[in-house]
Amino acid sequence: MVMIDERVRRASRRRGAVGWWWIALSAVAIAVLAPLPYLTDSLRGLAEGHDQIAANYVPRPSWAQVAFYVHIGCGGLALLLSPAQFAARLRARAPRVHRVCGRVAMGCMVLAGSAGLVLAPMNLAGAVGTAGFGTLGALWIGFAVAAYRAIRRGDVASHRRWAVRAFALTYAAVMLRLWLVLLVPLHEVVAGLDEDAAFDRAYLIVPFLCWVPNLLVAEVMLRRRRSGRETHGAGGHGRPPVT
């Protein structure tokens, strides 16, 4: 029985490692690739190339365009830095790097979330988008601030929980694009829509879909981790702590 339990734990760790590497690599890829077109071309140029998001901001006032660039720039940097913050070896070997990168990432989340709140009423999905992206922005700011306040008062466990939640929202940038990759062709095939119409229809769904499942998964993981630690600490055969 002990050998079976050990095999189960090892298999679980392997699945967890594979899943985490996928999350980390996809986060880095989107963090680098998603902002790149907006940094190498103008909004007008991208709009002429049928980029609907860029086209949405071309007629907007300059302050809205600045907010858009703050959102994609700071959001991309937060997405780029966040995966490394969960690496236990980095925290142990280079705690100063962990602290500095963590502060930068949290600051970027607050700035990107604030810009997201400004931009939410201008999104392409109307009232649904305003509610979805607006709630995302507010929670993103709140979770980042909660993580920072927890570590400032020395509550490491609480800090890690809030950091996981904040990253779940940061990862919405990845899931938004993955959902669009899935939903746009689906609408083209099932509903017989052209690409632009299929994008518009798919974009009505993603304002909540890109982040609510992420947060639910994060909460399940946190509950399982806490339960496993309590069982392990009580002398049972629960999964050992993962940090």
- Per-residue pLDDT tens digits for 57-114: 999 999 999 999 999 999 999 999 999 998 888 888 999 999 999 999 999 999 999 9
- pLDDT in the model for residue 125: 94
What's this model's pTM, rounded to 2 decimal places? 0.88
Strand locations in 57-187 (E): none
Burial class (CB within 10 angstroms; exposed 0-12, middle 13-18, buried 19+) of 174 = buried
Checking if the pLDDT of 213 tops 70, the result is: yes
Interval 24-59: pLDDT, tens: 999 999 999 999 999 999 999 999 998 999 999 999
Closest CA to 112 of 70, 77, 61, 57: 70
Closest CA to 171 of 62, 39, 21, 28: 28
Interval 173-190: pLDDT, tens: 999 999 999 999 999 999
Residues 71/119, Cβ–Cβ less than 8 Å: yes
Q: What is the token pair recorded at 4?
A: 């079976």
- pLDDT in the model for residue 60: 96
Q: What is the token pair recorded at 62?
A: 């300059």
